[in-house]
Every structure is written in C-alpha cells, then in structure tokens.
Structure 1
Amino acid sequence: MSRINTVLGPISAEELGLVAIHEHIGYGMPGSELDTKWWKTPEERYEETVPKLRKFHENGGGTFVDATGICNGRDIDYYKSLSRKTGVHIVACTGFVGGDTALPHFARASVDYLARHFIHEITVGIGDTGSKAGVIKVGVSRGGRMTELDKRIYRAAARAAVATGVPILTHLAIDARPAIDIFNEEGLPLDRVLFGHVDDGVNAESTPDTWIIEQGGRLGFDTFGYETELPDPPFWARPRKDRMEHFLRFVQGGHADKVLASADANCSPLGWPGVKGHTVNYIFEVLIPDLRANGVDEATINKIFVENAADFLSIRN
C-alpha cells in the first residue's frame, strides 16, 4: 500500500483527500522571526492560522503540503498541534526554498552531507520531533539562474529522493535545464519532480513548461490568487485570466495527469506583510469555481487535486 509521511505519522494515499500541494503555515526569510517588527507570539500565529485550516477542512480539504524549507520558519511541533486541532493532514518538507535561504552551515556543506541530512529527516525524523519529511524542497536563488549552491542542493535532493522514494518540489522552474540534467545524472525519474511556480507573473513566459512535460516532469501551477487585480499586488502577480488560460492549455490539452495546482498562501507570514485576504481557501472559493466555469469537469478536478497529488506524494521504495 502506498504511504505518505505527515507530521502525525504515515498515512495511505487514499487518506489524503483533496491536496493543497504548495502552501505555507508560516514562511519567512532566515532570521525574520528574531526581528521585533515582525515577531508574533504563538497565540497570534495560532489565531491567524487555525481558522484558515479549519475552513480548508470544512470546504473538503484533506491535506496541506507545507513547502517551507529549512531556515524559513519550519516548526514541526507547531504543525503537529495544528493538524490535531483542525483535522488537516500536514506534510512537512526537508530541503531549502533556494540556496540563498540556506544559512552558512548548510551553504558550505558538501553534496554528501546535504543528502545525508535530507535522508535523515525523511527516514528518522526532523530534529527531536519524531516527524518525518514527506517531500524535498529545492529552489532557484534570486536572479533566475541556478547558482553553484543551488546545484549542490538539487544534486543532494536527487540522491535523497532516489534513496528514500519521496518526491521533490521546486521553487521556480525558470532554469529547468540544468536541474533536469542533474536529476537525470542521479537516476531520478522526472515524474518524481513537481516543477513549481510555472505560472508566476515574473517567470512564466521564460519557463520551458512544455519542454518539462516532454521530459517527463510535472508542472506546478501554484501561485493562483496572486493577481494584478488585487489592490496591492505583489511583484509576481499576474492577471487572473492569463493564469487560467495558461493552466487550461495543459489541463484541456492532454496533460491533465501532469499538472497540480495550489495557492502558495502563507497562513501567518514572517518578516513580510503577506497579501491581505489570500489564503489556501482560494482553491475552493475561486479556483475550482473558475475551472468549472471554463468547462473543466468534476473528474478532471478530482484528477488534479486528488489523484495526481496522491500519485506524486506517495513514497516509492
């Protein structure tokens, strides 16, 4: 039986339900939690987060994949508390959002060290929490091109994925060619990689999305809700219509089995104000109704949010 690591222990793929594949409980840049301008008490973070997760569960959401890497505010004991409180399965990740978020201890580490660290967090546990990571996060540093550190992290992640059977989720797909070269060199099947943020407003036009599909990878359309129509849109915003048309090209063009979708929302942001009103529940409140309005049937919606997610997250070993 296929299984997935959650913060409360392994579950079967059938237990996942509808999956928000790329979200954050509380993302921030390294050190932001120490800046008094942004510091929040546990009570404040809890008050912001619990209603969002409860609503997600009430809407029919089953699993929340927290894509917050090492050094970016990952808090496993907190996640465990939230999961028990709300009934939402939470999948935590090992790895880094990008090389530029890795603190010096990790930035100076070898590929072998990083791979062993990732494997430990997947097979033994994260710190002393007893919880195991269910996905590996990697990313492209600022500038849109993989740095040497990014490449070391990607290679370590590929080795850990091969050794443990867990998948990889990327932050940005803008520089996919060297990433895919590394995955191929390490013998990682590309259907174990979700190339994320292919739909963001900064990099979408430069991302080789069709080529990624042709190589066997999966596409993450996971910035839904970050729209230029917002009163104060972030720099990666995009017109809602443009993003939907981009998504539909793949959903209705024969590649519905290769795409996943999410809102990349931050339940309780650290070190930045976040985007007011944007939550994981955009999936239910706007995205799924938009898909229906554009002729996407229920079977395809189920494939994107349930079947594809379960296949991707299932440990293969």
Structure 2
Amino acid sequence: MVLTGPWHRGRVVDPAEFERQQVEAAVTALSGLRAFGFATVIDLSPYGDAGRDAHGHNVRLLKEIAQGSGLNVITGTATYRKEFSPQWVLEASIDELTDRFIDDAHTGIAETGIRAGIIGEQPTSENIITDHDERGLRAAARAAAATGLALATHTTHGTMALEQIDIIASEGTDLTRVVIGHMDNHTELDYLRRVLDTGVSIGFDSIGKQFWDARTPYRIPPSNGETNKRSLFRSDETRADWLTTLIGEGYRDQIVLSHDLVGAQVALNPETHGQHGYTYIGAVFSELLQQRGATPADLDALLHSNPARLLQAATRP
C-alpha cells in the first residue's frame, strides 16, 4: 500500500489513518470534562485554520468526536485573518461570505449535513482592522442577523473590540447576541468595562494561556499583559481578580469562559493545560474564583446559563 497524506511522527501516514488518530486524540483530550459537569464543547475553528480544512470537509469528524466523548459538540463557521485564509476566502465578496455562513447554518458545512450553531470566531488583527478583516466581520454580522445565531469574534490580544462592535452594530446585529473574544488578554480592566457597557458579552476565553509562544523561554519573567506575542504573559490570578471584580460590578451575565485551546498549544503552558488540558477551568480556575468570593450561582452563570442563552437561536426579525 502506498502511503500518502500528512507527515506524522517521522513517517507518512494514510489520510484515513491520520483522521482516525485525530478523532482518538480529541476524544482522549475531552474525556475528563464530564466529571466536572460539562456536557457541551464549542468548536470555533475557522476555514483553513486550527485544524479545519480549507473547505470544511473534515467537520464530519466532529460527529465521531461527539459520539466517542459523550459530549455535545457545536461547531461555528468563520474565516480567519488574511495570512491564514484559503484562496476562495481571499476572493470572496461580502455577499458571498454571508451566503456561505448562512448556508452553513441552514444546510450544513461542506455538504456534511452538520450545521453551524454559532457564527464565529470571526477575527480582527492586532491594533488594526484590515480590509480583509472588515469584509469577514461584516459578513459574519449579516449572517448572525439573518439566522438568529450568536456571533463570536476573535480579537488579537483584546485590541479593536470597540471598533468590532461599531462594525457589527452598523449591520443591524443585536449586540446582546455578540461575544467579543479574548478580552482577558487586554491590559486595561477599564477597557473591558467600556466594551461591556455596549451590551455585548465578552469572552474570558484564554484561561490557562499564561505563556503564548514556544520561542520564548518558559521561565522568563515578562511583564503581566505585555502585548508583544513572543513574550505575552497573562496570569490566571489576574484573570480571576478581574473576573470577580466585574462580577461584583454587575457584569456577571455578560461573561463566558473558555480555554481557546488546540492540542498543539498544550506544551506552551505545562503547569495549566499541560497538566489538566480541557479540564483546567473545572479543576483549577473555578477554585481561584471561589477563593475570591465567587458563588455557585456565579459559576453557574459563567459556565452554564450565559452560554446556554447565547446558543439558543433567537427569532429572526
């Protein structure tokens, strides 16, 4: 048999074997979640990045992962930044992207029959919204308004959040159905307040990502919140401090939690994701919140009722 496909552990493996290994690895990675009360995982991988192929054909593997793990798996639909985008995305108009996202929600992604349950994560770049970024974000906002699905965005280190909101609002999207992502990586708590005051929800969704780049020595003591990605450091202690502060100020029902974790990133944070993987929030971070006064009702809101509300499709206008 001639082996073709991905290079894996020093040898070329058959694509079907590679996919089987992917499914097995994902099921293993998710296996501890149910013990902490989690029942649902959201995959926000965009076309051509974070494991999703250029046209979304391998979304079909999510069904096998759901069956193997016993978890609900909800998938999103989105494009990513220009440097990561397949050619069809680079050539698509706003209307074509909008139609693609709507079709993914109504009919299914890449003829798999697996329909998107959320729009996103739709990105912008660090300290700038490029023409490519804006085209994708407008399409995602229009698709969210048309389908009634929530819209999740990706900010780069928490930047350009208010500008994202301006664009999304200009497309007539209900801001209470929007999650602005990665806001736990911004350097100013007051900026998060300004974002929340627009009515959107925010993601504290990089929990466990304290160090960000394998090219940086793990033990280097960078400044907390440094926004050069090669040395970005965001303490989970700081995340917990900020979260409990925002809860005390009445923002609890506008915050959701996640790891923003793909398997290749586990080694970057051996003391968080490396030890606990996807269970880190349940095993460790929730305890940090409780130590700071978060109640069971607070945790239920952050981890259950808030995401459940967002995942329930709204009635289309």
Interval containing the TM-score (normalised by the shorter chain) = 0.7 to 0.9
Aligned length: 280
Contact 2:211/2:269 (CA < 8 Å) preserved in 1? no
Match of 1:198 in 2: 183
Q: 1:139 aligns with which of 105, 123, 126?
A: 123
Contact 1:222/1:263 (CA < 8 Å) preserved in 2? yes
State the secondary structure of the residue aligned to 2:184. Answer: coil
State the secondary structure of the residue aligned to 2:202. Answer: strand
State the secondary structure of the residue aligned to 1:280. Answer: helix
Match of 2:259 in 1: 263
Write the letter of the residue equivalent to 2:299.
I
Structure 1 pair 92–292 and aligned structure 2 pair: CA distance change class (3 A): same
Write the letter of the residue equivalent to 1:177.
L
Shift of 1:250: 1.1
1:50 aligns to 2:36 (yes or no): no
Structure 1 pair 78–235 and aligned structure 2 pair: CA distance change class (3 A): farther
Match of 1:311 in 2: 309
- How far apart, in 2, do the equivalents of 1:36 and 1:281 lie? 26
For the aligned residue pairs, the C-alpha RMSD in angstroms reads: 2.6
Match of 2:70 in 1: 87
Q: 1:155 aligns with which of 106, 123, 138?
A: 138
Match of 1:232 in 2: 218
Contact 1:162/1:188 (CA < 8 Å) preserved in 2? yes
State the secondary structure of the residue aligned to 1:48. Answer: helix
Match of 1:66 in 2: 43
Structure 1 pair 117–207 and aligned structure 2 pair: CA distance change class (3 A): farther
| Greater relative CO (CA pairs within 8 A, separation 6+) | 1
Match of 1:124 in 2: 107
- How far apart, in 2, do the equivalents of 1:128 and 1:88 lie? 23
| Aligned 1:236-251 pairs, distance under 5 A | 236-251=232-247
Contact 1:175/1:207 (CA < 8 Å) preserved in 2? no
Shift of 1:275: 4.3
State the secondary structure of the residue aligned to 2:140. Answer: helix
Structure 1 pair 114–274 and aligned structure 2 pair: CA distance change class (3 A): farther
Contact 2:76/2:117 (CA < 8 Å) preserved in 1? yes
Contact 2:124/2:130 (CA < 8 Å) preserved in 1? yes
Write the letter of the residue equivalent to 2:256.
L
Where does structure 2 lack aligned partners over 5 or more consecutive residues? 53-57, 220-229
- Range 53-62 or range 212-221, more displaced: 53-62
Match of 1:21 in 2: none
- How far apart, in 2, do the equivalents of 1:163 and 1:228 lie? 38
Write the letter of the residue equivalent to 1:282.
Y
Match of 1:189 in 2: 174
Contact 1:250/1:259 (CA < 8 Å) preserved in 2? no
Greater Rg by CA:
2
Match of 2:226 in 1: none
TM-score with structure 1 setting the length: 0.81
Shift of 1:204: 3.2
Shift of 1:140: 1.2
Structure 1 pair 311–274 and aligned structure 2 pair: CA distance change class (3 A): same
- How far apart, in 2, do the equivalents of 1:239 and 1:312 lie? 27
- How far apart, in 2, do the equivalents of 1:176 and 1:316 lie? 23
- How far apart, in 2, do the equivalents of 1:153 and 1:207 lie? 28
